[in-house]
Amino acid sequence: MRYFHSVRLDHERCKGCTNCIKRCPTEAIRVRDGKAVIIEERCIDCGECIRTCPNNAKTAFGDGLAVLTAYDYRIALPAPSLFGQFKHGTSPGQIIAALHLAGFDDVYEVAEAADYLTCVVRNFLSEQPFQTWISSSCPAVVRLIQVRFPELLTHLLPLDTPMELAAQLAKARAAATLPKQKLRVGAFFITPCPAKTTAVYQPEGNNSHVDGTISIAEIYGPLLHLLPNGDSLAPVKASRHGLGWALPGGEGLAVAERAQLCVAGIHEVCVLLEELEQGRLEGVHYIEAQSCPGGCLGGPLTVANSFVAQARLRTLMQDMTPNIVVECGHISSLAHLAHTIKPRPILPLDSDVSAAIRRMEQLEKILSTLPELDCGACGAPNCRALAEDIVRGLANETDCVIKLRERVKKLAEEMVDLSTKLPPAMGRGGPNYA
């Protein structure tokens, strides 16, 4: 199966420094011939490599503002994290007004959809009190579970993301207000991360209701120039709880589930999921998991420092309505997933079970001979990954610099030993025929 990935590699910029291979949570990157290589079936588009690469060799695909020209009616779906990118004193209403000036005919706040989804989550948790549930709002976390923790898929909330719900509601509103002529309506998510772009272009199950994505980093400059002076008349419909979904712990705060955990950062999420997999989180009813440190405000496609953005967003939240959505029956059917999220397993060592077992034994045998320094000089993230690559025929044992030196030392000793020997015709080194 071919996978769409929004994370892209610029080979010209890549120096083969191995920083990315050490940080990838699914070991999806190798360095071969001095350049990084992304393994498609392992990549979850979390953007950790974008954040880590010192050479800016990792980039993210996005549609850009030019895509708007292909549509008759254009709807902006601003992520809650967008509102934390601008300096103190910039109101959400001003940003919404700037989006209109940037070429959008309508703006539907994803934070408003988050308000509705908060209500749906609350109702769902009250009806399912005896299991630990994991939020499905972060697509990178969902794909992480598909790849690394498939046993935990039954713990994922069977609910859509605020982005998808916002697109459905925005298009329904447009259909109700626009004239009954054929118009091409497009909904575009303004995204803080590449994972949401992948969720649009290769969604799980049904097609996405979002028609494209524009990164916050790309639209920030134009919006900055278009911000109107003073207070804008553009209405803000979201509550402080919906806007708070961009914060680490904001979703959990809105849901207000007592027995909950909130974790942000892909590596921290991995640790917590391992705990859950091992049955160590008894009594926890709800887990909010976000792949980016600092939540969506720390996404690799944002502009502002995540801590500064958090402070700005908290200030904005103080001036917004504290009212929560308590009636969401009409939204529930839209929010519930109509499909089951399936595992996305990494290719097995062999299609035949017995052969795969033999290869696993071979892998463990090779691993026992490696130094287990996990230095990354071989181009793999650790010694176990190198052993797996060797078994798959993608690497050699001498790719390990320690094993290479051992081999060179052994060859050198053999050469020295051979250099001291003479052929039998010269009377030395041959058998004794007397």
Would you list the DSSP string of 36-82?
EEE-TTT-----HHHHH-TT--EEE----GGGGGG-SEEEEEE-GGG
Please state the pTM of the whole predicted model: 0.90
pLDDT value of residue 35: 95
pLDDT confidence tier of residue 324, bands split at 50, 70 and 90: confident
pLDDT value of residue 114: 96
pLDDT value of residue 9: 93
Side-chain half-sphere exposure of 25, counting CA atoms within 13 A: 27
Q: What percent of the chain has pLDDT over 90?
A: 78
Q: Is the pLDDT of residue 104 over 90?
A: yes
Report which of residues 322 and 123 the model is more confident about.
123
Average pLDDT, the chain: 91
Report which of residues 89 and 363 the model is more confident about.
363
Distance CA 432, CA 283 (A): 82
Q: Which residues contact 179 (CB under 8 A, 6 or more apart)?
A: none
Distance CA 231, CA 317 (A): 16
Q: Is the pLDDT of residue 232 over 80?
A: no
Chain segment 43-88, per-residue pLDDT in tens: 999 999 999 999 999 999 989 899 999 999 999 999 999 999 999 9
The domain segmentation of the chain, as residue ranges, is 7-59, 65-335, 353-424
Strands 212-215, 73-78: pairing is unpaired
pLDDT value of residue 433: 54
Q: Is the pLDDT of residue 355 over 80?
A: yes
Chain segment 333-354, per-residue pLDDT in tens: 889 998 889 998 787 888 888 9
pLDDT confidence tier of residue 328, bands split at 50, 70 and 90: confident
Query: Quick one: average pLDDT of 129-147?
Result: 95
- Rg of the chain (C-alpha set): 27
- The mean-pLDDT minimum among 217-231, 284-298, 308-322 falls in 217-231
pLDDT confidence tier of residue 384, bands split at 50, 70 and 90: very high
Q: Which two tokens stand for residue 232?
A: 């804008």
Distance CA 402, CA 386 (A): 13
Distance CA 376, CA 18 (A): 7
Task: Please tell me the class of the 7-59 domain.
Answer: alpha beta
The answer to whether residues 158 and 336 touch, using CB atoms and an 8 Å cutoff, is yes
- CB-count exposure of residue 384 (10 Å: 0-12, 13-18, 19+): middle
CATH number assigned to the domain covering 353-424: 1.10.15.40
Q: Which residues contact 305 (CB under 8 A, 6 or more apart)?
A: none
The domains spanning 7-59 and 353-424 adopt the same CATH topology: no
Q: Is the pLDDT of residue 231 over 70?
A: no
pLDDT value of residue 24: 96
